[in-house]
Chain A
Amino acid sequence: MDTLVKGDKLRKYFQVGPKSLLHAVDDVDVDIPRGTTLGVVGESGCGKSTLARVVLGLIPKTGGKLYFDGRDLDTLNKKEKAEYRRQMQIIFQDPYSSLDPRMSVYESIAEPLDMNHIFSKKAEKLDYIMELMERVGLAERFVNAYPHEMDGGRRQRVCIARALALNPKFIVCDEPVSALDVSIQAQILNLLMDMQDSMGLTYMFITHDMSVVKHISTEIMVMYLGQCVERAPSKELFENPLHPYTQALLSAVPKPVINRMSNTEILRGEVSNPINPPVGCRFAPRCKHCTAECTQKNFELVDQGSRHSVACRLFDQA
């Protein structure tokens, strides 16, 4: 398959004390075929946003290699880097704080265009901004509106229009619908999927919501404490979740049905400390299948066929 974004053993550690390293992202491989969506799912603090920032080159990585369109991003000069930056954009969770409150919709969308000197004629720029607004489903009358005059759904549409302005190939969506109501969330998810169909965009879609990630993703990566513990095509992951954490995550999602006395097994304990984690499976303290072996060695992702791989003693090849 034609890969657009590829990361090998991406790693980001934060120095949080003289001898303390916080393992935010630990040797994660990423591989996103052109025109598809890689969903990244996991609970807060598991390293999703850090991974996104590493992939976009917004923070320096501690280790690993990163390729975009086949080019090793570490070998680019400044000018080339700027060019690649334009092809990769990000949409954040909070459409409130990611827009400048003093900028109108027009100014917000125009900013990246101006910074890159795209248009010399004002009329052309306005036409293009109107076209972008139409593409993301924002009525023309909002062109001079300010963020506080709009609801969360419309603000997120402005952020999307802004991200589209420079015609990117790749967009990282970091929890783009988590702050929105379900009825508005559905509008935005449909918009993102339509944009992918019509423009051939490639997405990395970050969320903590299992049902959202199922709808949007081609393939899904499940993260736990900085590591990828399972990866599979979306349908395969939901039909055949293998890692005990993925299973627990799926059963913890409250489904919209009457489920009063359900004895869904409840995952005990909490995520452990990401600072200087000990050797062994990081899920071990919460796992009901844990044995001594689980805490003595690390488990790598092992291919189980059907593009499905999992890092767990239960599926470690003999």
Chain B
Amino acid sequence: MNNTGTEQAILEVRGLHTIYQTDDGVVKAVNGVDFSINERETVGLVGETGAGKTTLALSIMRLLPERTGRIPEGEIIYKGENLLKADKEYMRRIRGANISMIFQDPMNALNPIMSVGDQILESLVIHNEEKRSGEELNKRVDELLELVGISAGRKHEYPHQFSGGMKQRIVIAIALACNPKLIIADEPTTALDVTIQAQVLALINDLQQKLGTSMIMITHDLGIVGKTCDKVAIMYAGEIIEFGTAEDVFNGEKHHPYTVGLFGAIPSLTSEAKRLKPIDGLMPDPTALPEGCKFHPRCPHCTEECKTGEPYLYQKGEAYIKCNLFREEK
């Protein structure tokens, strides 16, 4: 649908490194991430706990904890501008109006003592560059609520009067309020039951069709990626180790061994096998990452060359895999 090859990248991340300076040492959370996202496109950012997904999102939004988080290297280009060089005021305007974020837990994202209508209105007022009248803004609040499937008549109610799924719909309405170009959704349905998750994912798909907003969908669930994403980035220990179209990553022939392990570990609804295939070992400690390929201590294909130096970057069009297995014969 979207892959005509003529699109414009709306966001480009180049060589991004993010660290947290903690008492236990320097946590290397993001270690050289490159990717871009085009207009109308959804990119799935997949990885297990601690892979650096949220840190990447917070880096793009410039919302890292001020005391500990730092970006020593890299560029984040939005509309030709490097956001890492932008001042606070510029970033404030970017957030919400251009790029908005949906967090995992709708409970924490909403203000418990403000009606949901007022919360939507608030984000409209902050970014009211067109100086729309109060009446216009209120109409927009109603529109947004209806858009996410909540009757506008409930705008005077407070968050606790809504179920988890409905709260997440309201969070989505707030994220959409100013017609952003890009939405970063960090595990938007992880806290929800599967039948409610299905409703929210359908809503997200539907809104994308209608509005054409680009989206970075952060998740640990490859099933959600399959339902919502055009492209997929698999993250491990702060790096994107495989990137490609959904077709490449789900059905392609070449894969990073971690991607293979990740798909293999999912219990299947259709297979008869009882025993599961875990990936041996654990995520590396982000304060003491292994040399060479960061997956090498867990990789069944690890050879001597994997233990030192950067792994080979295999590229095919936009798609890439960082692994020595794909080093072409000389």
Partner among B228, B267, B274, B277 whose Cβ is within 8 Å of the Cβ of A212: B267
Query: A2 near B: Cβ within 8 Å?
Result: no
- Which B residue sits closest to A263, measured CB to CB? B202
Bound CA–CA A70/B163 (angstroms): 42
- Which B residue sits closest to A257, measured CB to CB? B226
Bound CA–CA A235/B273 (angstroms): 11
Residue numbers in B under 8 Å from A270 (CB-CB): 163, 165-166, 196
Pair B163/A211 contact, Cβ less than 8 Å: no
With A186-B267, A193-B274, A252-B195 known as contacts, the answer to whether A181 contacts B220 (CB < 8 A) is yes
Bound CA–CA A260/B263 (angstroms): 18
Q: How large is the interface on A (under 10, 10 to 19, 20 to 34, 35 or more residues)?
A: 35 or more
Pair B276/A190 contact, Cβ less than 8 Å: yes
Bound CA–CA A267/B196 (angstroms): 8
Query: A100 near B: Cβ within 8 Å?
Result: no
Query: A97 near B: Cβ within 8 Å?
Result: no
Query: B275 near A: Cβ within 8 Å?
Result: yes
Residue numbers in A under 8 Å from B220 (CB-CB): 181-182
Pair B48/A181 contact, Cβ less than 8 Å: yes
Which residues of A from 195 to 214 have beta carbons under 8 Å from B? 208-212, 214
With A182-B262, A182-B265, A266-B199 known as contacts, the answer to whether A258 contacts B278 (CB < 8 A) is no
Partner among A187, A190, A248, A262 whose Cβ is within 8 Å of the Cβ of B227: A262
Query: B250 near A: Cβ within 8 Å?
Result: yes
Which secondary structure dominates where chain B touches chain A? helix
Query: B282 near A: Cβ within 8 Å?
Result: yes
- Which A residue sits closest to B269, measured CB to CB? A211
Bound CA–CA A210/B194 (angstroms): 10
Which residues of B from 168 to 197 have beta carbons under 8 Å from A? 193-197
A23 to chain B, nearest CB (A): 18
Pair A186/B276 contact, Cβ less than 8 Å: yes
Pair A211/B283 contact, Cβ less than 8 Å: no
A156 to chain B, nearest CB (A): 13
Pair B263/A256 contact, Cβ less than 8 Å: yes
Pair A255/B226 contact, Cβ less than 8 Å: yes
Query: A183 near B: Cβ within 8 Å?
Result: yes
Bound CA–CA A274/B250 (angstroms): 41
Query: B108 near A: Cβ within 8 Å?
Result: no
Pair A183/B261 contact, Cβ less than 8 Å: yes
Pair A184/B278 contact, Cβ less than 8 Å: yes
Bound CA–CA A259/B49 (angstroms): 25
Residue numbers in B under 8 Å from A44 (CB-CB): 193
Pair A253/B265 contact, Cβ less than 8 Å: no
Query: B201 near A: Cβ within 8 Å?
Result: yes
- Which A residue sits closest to B273, measured CB to CB? A215
- Which A residue sits closest to B209, measured CB to CB? A261
Bound CA–CA A200/B263 (angstroms): 31
Residue numbers in B under 8 Å from A268 (CB-CB): 199
Pair B226/A182 contact, Cβ less than 8 Å: no
Query: B223 near A: Cβ within 8 Å?
Result: yes
Pair B269/A190 contact, Cβ less than 8 Å: no
Pair A258/B274 contact, Cβ less than 8 Å: no
Q: Scan B242-270; emit 1 where CB is below 8 A from any A CB, else 0.
A: 00001100110000000001110111110
Bound CA–CA A267/B193 (angstroms): 12
Query: B84 near A: Cβ within 8 Å?
Result: no
A211 to chain B, nearest CB (A): 4
Partner among B202, B247, B250, B262 whose Cβ is within 8 Å of the Cβ of A266: B202
Residue numbers in A under 8 Å from B227 (CB-CB): 254, 259-260, 262
Bound CA–CA A58/B132 (angstroms): 59
With A211-B269, A257-B226, A258-B251 known as contacts, the answer to whether A187 contacts B278 (CB < 8 A) is yes
A64 to chain B, nearest CB (A): 27
Pair B282/A182 contact, Cβ less than 8 Å: no
Bound CA–CA A250/B198 (angstroms): 11
Pair A253/B277 contact, Cβ less than 8 Å: no
B35 to chain A, nearest CB (A): 19
Query: A151 near B: Cβ within 8 Å?
Result: yes
A222 to chain B, nearest CB (A): 13
Residue numbers in B under 8 Å from A258 (CB-CB): 226, 246-247, 250-251
- Which A residue sits closest to B230, measured CB to CB? A260
With A43-B194, A249-B195 known as contacts, the answer to whether A254 contacts B267 (CB < 8 A) is no
Which residues of A from 254 to 308 have beta carbons under 8 Å from B? 254-260, 262, 264, 266-268, 270-271
Query: A87 near B: Cβ within 8 Å?
Result: no
Pair A254/B269 contact, Cβ less than 8 Å: no
Q: Scan B281-316; emit 1 where CB is below 8 A from any A CB, else 0.
A: 011000000000000000000000000000000000
Query: B319 near A: Cβ within 8 Å?
Result: no
Query: A126 near B: Cβ within 8 Å?
Result: no
Pair B269/A214 contact, Cβ less than 8 Å: yes
Bound CA–CA A12/B24 (angstroms): 47
Residue numbers in A under 8 Å from B269 (CB-CB): 210-211, 214, 238, 250, 253, 255
With A181-B48, A249-B194 known as contacts, the answer to whether A151 contacts B282 (CB < 8 A) is yes
Pair B246/A151 contact, Cβ less than 8 Å: no
19 A-B pairs in the complex with CB atoms less than 8 angstroms apart: A43-B194, A153-B282, A181-B48, A181-B283, A182-B48, A183-B262, A184-B278, A185-B278, A186-B276, A250-B269, A252-B195, A253-B269, A254-B221, A254-B224, A256-B223, A256-B225, A256-B263, A258-B247, A264-B198
Task: List 3 A-B pairs, minimum CB-CB distance, nearest first.
Answer: A254-B223, A186-B278, A186-B276
Q: Apart from A238-B269, A254-B201, A267-B195, list 8 A-B contacts with CB within 8 A.
A: A43-B195, A182-B265, A186-B279, A190-B275, A254-B221, A258-B251, A260-B226, A270-B163
Interface residues of A (CB under 8 A from B): 43-44, 151-154, 181-187, 189-190, 193, 208-212, 214-215, 235, 238, 248-250, 252-260, 262, 264, 266-268, 270-271
